[in-house]
Homo-oligomer: A and B are copies of this chain.
């Protein structure tokens, strides 16, 4: 409560607000992130924040962009193949977002802000480069994203519990690893028999 409440001598900044929001997000999760809490963390009136940030939603988006900024750089086709590359990417997304409980789950449900058009294009390009049919690439990318963000949402409560060593337990990581391998195997199979079993443009899969 009384930690870091140094007396404010300088003007409040956008970066300072963002840093405070990220700190609170890690500590308490999105459900406890309030504009009033951010302000109090900064030793300032709630309305002071509004002079630098439009509203709560844009603060959340700011936090999300900050966290996943470096992650978008990690998606590229390396020499060791698309499976290893995708595995690294999914693991790194989880690693980055899992410490911020509730954040990812919240944005997953927003219209389609979660995945920016840029990330979407990157991902589709990745799967096309990996040899997936053009019509299949968006489906494959969306599948991988859906799994990993679902996993992060399910793991959200792990951080909420008051005891220590929250995400280190073997439970969460075992599930994550198993799931990522299943995703890779599933995509590999669908990539191989793409022509015979799945006609994506018709909207009906063969049974």
Is A154 among interface residues, defined by CB-CB distance under 8 A?
Answer: yes
**Does A189 make an interface contact (CB < 8 A)?**
yes
Least CB distance, A205 to chain B, in whole angstroms: 5
Most buried by B among A101, A147, A186: A186
Contact pattern, A 99-123, Cβ under 8 Å of B = 1, otherwise 0: 0011001001111101000000000
Which A positions have Cβ atoms within 8 angstroms of B?
101-102, 105, 108-112, 114, 136, 139-140, 142-143, 146-147, 149-151, 153-154, 156-157, 160-161, 170, 173-175, 177-179, 181-187, 189-190, 197-198, 200, 203, 205
In the complex, which of the residues B112, B175, B203 contacts A157, with contact meaning CB atoms closer than 8 Å?
A: B112
In Å, the complex CA distance between A182 and B184 comes to 9
Additional A-B contact list (17), CB under 8 Å, known A142-B179, A149-B150, A185-B185: A105-B109, A105-B153, A108-B150, A108-B156, A109-B157, A136-B178, A139-B178, A142-B175, A146-B175, A149-B153, A153-B153, A177-B205, A178-B205, A182-B190, A183-B186, A185-B186, A186-B187
